[in-house]
Chains A and B, each alone.
Chain A
Amino acid sequence: MNKRLNISSQAELEQLINRYFDGETTVQDEQALRETLADCPWSSDVIDEARFTMGYFAAHRNEQQRVAKKTNHRQIIGIAASIAIILAIGGYALWHQQQSNDVCIAYVNGNVVDDNDKVMALIANDMSKMDNAANAMTHQLSSLGEALELDNE
C-alpha cells in the first residue's frame, strides 16, 4: 500500500510544487498535490501557477478524452452506416435476384408471351423437336449397328 502524502502547510505545498516542477515527485505525490490544490485556500505565485498549469493539463486531458470519445462515436457511426449500406445493397441484390429468378416469358417474332401455359407449350415444342432429332440419331446408330451385324454374319 502506498503511503499517502499529507500536506499540512502552505510551505509544504510550495515545496511539493517545486519538486513537481523539478520532476522529483511520485504518482502519489502528484495525486496529493492535485487534491490539495483543488481544496486548499492557500494562494501564492507558485501555488497559483501550479493550479493554472495542472488545471490546464486537466482541462487539456479532458478535451483530449472528449475528442477521442467523439472520434470513437464517429467511427462507430461510420461502421454502422457501412454495415447498413452493405445490408441494403445485399438485400436489394437478393430481392432483385429473387425477382429476376421468377421469369417465364417468350418473345415470338417481337411479341411478348407472358402466359405461363403458352410459354411452357413453346418449351414442349422445342423439346419435342430435340427428341425427334435425338431419336433420329439413335435410330441411325442402331441401323448402322444392325447393318454391321448383318455384314459380319
Chain B
Amino acid sequence: MKRITIIILTCLLTSIAAMAQNGLNINRLFDGRYKKAAGATEIIVTGAQAREIGLTVYHSLSVTDKSQANLVEALVVKDGAQAVDKEVEYRNGQLYYGFYTMKKSKHDNRYIFYLNQNLARKSPQNIVTLIYMEGLANQDEIKKLIRK
C-alpha cells in the first residue's frame, strides 16, 4: 500500500510539474482576474480554432484601466528582457509597441505582442493590448498572420 501511495504521489507530482506554466511573467495576468473585470477583454483560443490560424495557443488581454496598463507594461518589459529577438518602440519613455520572440517551449515558438494605444499619434485610445502566441509558426509567419 505504501508503495502504491508513493507511485501515485510521484505520478501526481510529475503531472503537476508538466502542467506548470511556461515561466513567463505575463502569465500572472492570465490567472483569470480579468475574466469578470469591466474594461477588460481576455481571449483564450487553443486546440482546433488555434490551429486554424497556425497556432497552438492564442491568449490576449486588453485593459483600459491605467494602473492595470502599467502592470501589463512592467511584466511585458520584464519578459522582453529575456527575449531572443525583439522589435520595440518607446514613446515618451513608455513602451508603445513590442514584438518579442521568446525562448521555445518544447517544440513551439512563443511570441509576445504589446501595444499601448494611449501613445498612438493618430486617434489615441485608452487601451493596452497584450497578445501571447504559441505555435510552430516562425517570425515571418506570425507577421503575415497579423497582416491578414
Contacts and interface: CB of A to CB of B under 8 A. Distances in A.
B129 A105 contact: no
Interface in B118-148: 120-121, 129, 131, 143, 145-148
A110 B131 CA distance: 19
Contact of B49 (A120, A128, A134): A120
For chain B, what secondary structure do more than half of its interface residues adopt (helix, strand, loop), or is it mixed?
A: mixed
Nearest to A104: B49
Interface stretch (B5-13, B20-28, B69-77): B5-13
A130 B47 contact: no
B100 interface: no
A127 interface: yes
Contacts of B12: 89
Nearest to B145: A127
A124 B45 CA distance: 13
Contacts of B99: 130, 134
* Interface size grouping (class) on chain A: 35 or more
Contacts of B147: 131
Contacts of A128: 146
A6 to B, nearest CB: 53
B44 interface: yes
B34 A119 contact: no
A134 B131 contact: no
A109 B7 contact: no
Interface string A64-79: 0000000000000010
Interface of A: 78, 81-82, 85-86, 89-90, 93, 100-110, 116, 119-120, 122-124, 126-131, 133-134, 136-137, 140
Interface of B: 1, 3-4, 7-8, 11-12, 15, 34-50, 52-53, 58, 60, 62, 87, 89, 96-97, 99, 113, 115, 117, 120-121, 129, 131, 143, 145-148
24 contacts: A78-B3, A85-B8, A89-B15, A90-B11, A100-B46, A103-B45, A104-B44, A104-B45, A104-B46, A107-B40, A109-B39, A119-B43, A120-B53, A123-B43, A123-B53, A126-B131, A127-B148, A128-B146, A130-B115, A131-B146, A134-B143, A136-B89, A136-B121, A137-B89
